[in-house]
Structure 1
Amino acid sequence: MIPQAPEQRRALIGEYVLGLLDEPEASEVRELIEHDRAAARMALEWEHHLLDLADALPAQQPSPALWQRLQQSLGWLPASGATEGGLRRWWNSLGLWRLTSAGLALLVLLSWLPGVLRDAPTGASYTAVLQVPGESARPGWVITVDGDGTLTLDSLVADSIPADRSVQFWTLVDPKDGPRSLGLIEPGKAVTLSAEQIGAVQAGQLFELTLEPEGGSPLNRPTGPVLYIGRAVLIAGS
């Protein structure tokens, strides 16, 4: 049951954003966010708050074991049964929360897109790694913005989405202006958007994918749960 007291409701929505709720409680909160403007605002505030906390933490150099585990989870290396138990314990440890979005973005970028820095146009270029909210160990999509402003969204996962739902791509520069839809995407498939469609990009800009009703959000803001979220990081230019 959804609590009526504002603070209790806010706490419950925070747990939902972090992915801590089980069904059917998560479904209840999802329904509330889709139809209640105040609840949707609370969810958005939680997303910004959690990302700000992650950004404030110092980046850490990943250990060889962590780097190997990241490569295995992305399919770059075969899984090792002998070390799986120890790696899982490390993977689930509190230390991983200290990997900021910027640090993880650069980590994936240097291995998965080695030519970006070398071949980027002269303008500023950016990258962002979109992760499952609250789980810095689960990158799902990588964004690159070339010097000419072209944005490419590439998938690292193959999610299964219900037939009556759509995945919508959003960006947010200033919370005062609110989020802006960048359209619907098909899970697992790359998307390229022009500079005219994206607009100016800056470091720290928020990007996210949300699960919405079929055909997209009925409002000019996200109404469904956040699937993946991350911030833009400057990688070349000024």
Structure 2
Amino acid sequence: MIPHDLEPRRALIGEYVLGLLDEPQASEVRDLIESDREAARMTLEWERHLLDLTDQLSPQAPSPVLWERIQQTLGWSANAVAVTPKGFVRWWQSLGLWRLTSGALALLVLLSWLPGVMKPEAPGPSYTAVLQQPGESAQPGWVVTIDGDGALRLKSLVDDQIPEDRSVQFWTLIDPQDGPRSLGLIEPGQETMLSAEQIGAVQAGQLFELTLEPTGGSPLDRPTGPVLYIGRAVLIASN
């Protein structure tokens, strides 16, 4: 089963690229790569990363026993194939077949969504923040996630009852000297999505909070009501 969360899905795709999955699970991942843009991009990232690591290895000739097993596995016979272990290492070290098949196919899948793009950009870092009630109870109420494209998702874990003459406003703060910045009003209990353009720069330790404000939001450029939930961003993945 394909996980929904980003990091478990990224790890599963890494196992697929390494060839560690059994066929039923590998087939699921192949279908995902063909139908999901983000999965295709993750595949390219894994292949690029693993190829970079492989290129740093020095060639090693297999032992005669290992070379014989390789020939048997590939269905080669000593008379039919005039390839020496040393020659095999040079072929394998070049990784030409891998580059021309798995990498090219994954790239074609991605380009089918992005016409004219020759090289996809690697995603940026991703963050999460658990917003908790102030005080000793520290009850989690909301979860903030910022993906590699900079888009923010605000998901509720509670069902708060807000007075009709009040609004809940979403804020963020990076530098206290610059002051907080409003990210808009949110509906209690409902998931909110904001684009990278709306969010702006994000960094580890950045503050996010929800405050109770008058109807329509704070009359000032800062929170005026009590803090309902507050938390700081934590880096969960980087390039």
Instruction: Return the offset for 1:137.
Output: 4.0
Q: Displacement, 1:162? A: 0.3
Paired with 1:157 and 1:172, the residues of 2 have a C-alpha distance of 23
The aligned runs of 1:1-238 (5 Å cut-off) are 115-119=5-9, 122-135=123-136, 137-237=138-238
Unaligned runs of 5+ in 2: 11-37, 39-122
CA distance in 2, matches of 1:213, 1:236: 37
Residue 177 of structure 1 aligns to a residue whose secondary structure is: coil
Deviation track 1:6-48 (CA, whole Å, cap 9, x = no partner) reads: xxxxxxxxxxxxxxxxxxxxxxxxxxxxxxxxxxxxxxxxxxx
Q: Which amino acid aligns with 1:127?
A: T
Q: Which amino acid aligns with 1:206?
A: L
Shift of 1:136: 5.2
Larger Rg over CA atoms: 2
SS at match of 1:197: helix
Structure 1 residue 118: Cα displacement:
3.4
What code does the residue aligned with 1:176 have?
Q
Tell me how far 1:155 sits from its aligned partner.
Answer: 0.1
SS at match of 2:7: helix
Runs ≥4 residues deviating over 2 A: 118-122
Distance (whole Å) between structure 2 residues aligned to residue 206 and residue 144 of structure 1: 13
Q: Mark the runs of 5 or more structure 1 residues left unpaired by the alignment.
A: 1-112
Amino acid aligned to 1:157: V
Provide the rounded CA distance (Å) in 2 between the counterparts of 1:236 and 1:136: 29
Between stretches 130-139 and 182-191, larger displacement belongs to 130-139
TM-score between the two structures when normalised by the length of structure 2: 0.50
TM-score normalised by structure 1 residue count: 0.51
Deviation at 1:116, TM superposition (A): 2.1
The DSSP-based 3-state class of the residue aligned with 2:183 is: strand
Note the C-alpha offset of 1:135. 3.6
CA 1:124 to 1:136, structure 2 compared with 1: closer, same or farther past 3 Å?
farther
The match for 1:73 is: none
Amino acid at match of 1:188: G
Tell me what 1:86 maps to: none
CA 1:225–1:137: 2 relative to 1, 3 Å? closer
What is the percent sequence identity of the aligned residues?
75
Mapped partners of 2:211, 2:138: distance in 1: 19
1:123, distance to aligned residue in structure 2 (A)? 1.8
The Cα RMSD (Å) is 1.6
Cα deviations by residue, 1:163-196 (Å, 9 ceiling, x for unpaired): 0000000000000000000000000000000000
Distance of 2:5 and 2:194 partners within structure 1:
20
User: 3-state SS of the aligned residue for 1:167?
Assistant: strand
> Which of the pair has the greater relative contact order for Cα pairs under 8 Å at 6+ separation?
1
In structure 1, what residue type is equivalent to 2:7? L
**What one-letter code is carried by the residue in structure 2 that aligns with 1:209?**
L
Q: In the aligned structure 1, how far is the partner of 2:174 from the partner of 2:219?
A: 21
Distance 2:210 2:127 in 1: 18
- Out of 113-122 and 134-143, give the one that drifted further: 113-122
